[in-house]
Structure 1
Amino acid sequence: MAKIKDRITLGIISSLIATVPATIMDLFANKTGLSDYYYNHASTLFIKRSKSNTLRGKIVSALVNNITNCTTGVATSYVLSATGRDKPILKGIGVYALSWLSLNGLLYKEVLDTKARRAHTPIFSFFIHTVAGSICGYCVSKMGDDSLFPDSKINSKTKLPLVGSNSCNKATADIPSLDVKTN
C-alpha cells in the first residue's frame, strides 16, 4: 500500500476512518438512552431548531460533524508530524479530547444553548471522542509516509518541513543572541 505524503489528506482520510465507529457508538448511545446529545443539534448553527430533524437538517448536521472530525484529524496529523509516531494513540486521544472540550464546552453549551439532561452524557461523549482519537492517531502513524515524521532513523534531508522550506533557519539567522551572564 502506498503511503500518504500530504498531511492534510492523511488527516482527512484518518479522521473519516475514525468517524465510522464513533458514529456507530453515538447512534447506539442515543437509541439506548446512554446519551441525549444528537449531532442534529449541530445543524442549528445554520437552520432553525425546528428544522434540525428533517432530511436537510440531518444532512447539514452530518456536514458539520464530518468537517469538525476532518479538522481534528488534520490537527492530529500535524501533531504526529511535529512530535513523531511514538504513542500515536495517546496523541490522537489528546487532540480529540481538546476537540471534545471545545464542542461540549463551547458549541453545545454556549452557542447552541444545549445542555445534557443526564450527567453521564458528556462522559459517554468524551469516551466516543477518545475512541475516535485513538483510531485516528493510529491511522495517521500507519498510513503516513516516513518523510512526514521526525523519526531518528531517517535522514533529515529527506524530511518534508511542517511549514515552508527552511523557514525557521532563515527567520532566526538575523536575530542576535541574548546571552545573559550570571555571577
Structure 2
Amino acid sequence: MIYFKDKYSLGIIVSIFANFIRNIFTYICYYFNISQYLARQIAAATFLPQTKVNSFLGIIIGTFADYGVAISLGVIIIYLLYLTGTAYPLLKGISMGLLYWLLLFGMMLRFGLSEINPTDLNTNIVFLINHILLGVLIAWLANMYGKKILKNN
C-alpha cells in the first residue's frame, strides 16, 4: 500500500483523485440534463465571460480553477483530520463539503463571483451532493492512505 510522508502533498493527491470521481458524477448529471452546468463551467465563469466557458481556454481555466478549489478543500480536511483525529472521517468530510458548498457555491456565487449563478433546483441539489461527495471522498482517501502521518503524537 502507498503511504505519504507529507500532509500537504497527501491533500493534493487525494483531492485530485476525489475530484476526478466527483466530476464523473457531475458529467453524468449534466449529460442527462439533471444539472444545467458543470463545475468547470461555473469555475471558468469566475475568470471569463460566460460566452467563453466552453472555449478551449475556458475549459483549461475552468478545470484548473475547479481542481484548485478541490485541492484547497483537501488540504483543509487533511489538517482537520490531523488536528482532531481520524475518528469519524466521513462525518468530517461531509461537514467540510457542506461548508464549501455554503460558502463557495452559495454565498460567493450569489455575490457575483461567477457570471454563472445557477438558480434551478436540480442544479443546486446536484452541486450539494457534489460537494458532500467530494468531502467524503477526500476524507476517506486521506484516512486510507495517510494513516501514519495523520496521527497527531
* TM-score, normalization by structure 2: 0.90
1:35-74, aligned counterparts within 5 Å?
A: 35-38=35-38, 39-74=40-75
Identity %: 26
Matching of residue 138 in structure 1 with residue 140 in structure 2: yes
Counterpart selection for 2:151 from 138, 149, 152: 149
Q: Distance in 2 between matches of 1:52 and 1:92?
A: 29
> Residue deviations 1:106-157, cap 9 Å, x none?
332222253324213211211111112111101111111424323xxxxxxx
- Residue in structure 1 matched with residue 122 of structure 2 by the alignment: 120
CA separation of 1:144 and 1:116: change in aligned 2, threshold 3 A: same
SS in 1 for 2:103: helix
SS in 2 for 1:112: coil
| Matching residue's letter, 1:102 | L
Q: Distance in 1 between matches of 2:108 and 2:56?
A: 22
**RMSD of Structure 2 on Structure 1 (CA):** 1.6
Q: Distance in 2 between matches of 1:105 and 1:117?
A: 10
- Residue in structure 2 matched with residue 21 of structure 1 by the alignment: 21
CA separation of 1:2 and 1:124: change in aligned 2, threshold 3 A: closer
| Matching residue's letter, 1:125 | F
SS in 1 for 2:136: helix
Q: Relative contact order, CA 8 A, sep 6+: which one is greater?
A: 2
Matching of residue 4 in structure 1 with residue 4 in structure 2: yes
Larger Rg: 1
> Residue deviations 1:160-183, cap 9 Å, x none?
xxxxxxxxxxxxxxxxxxxxxxxx
- Residue in structure 1 matched with residue 95 of structure 2 by the alignment: 94
- Residue in structure 2 matched with residue 173 of structure 1 by the alignment: none
| Matching residue's letter, 1:132 | L
What is the Cα deviation at residue 68 of structure 1? 0.4
Give unpaired runs (5+ residues) of structure 2. none
SS in 2 for 1:89: helix
What is the Cα deviation at residue 85 of structure 1? 1.0
SS in 2 for 1:148: coil
SS in 1 for 2:94: helix
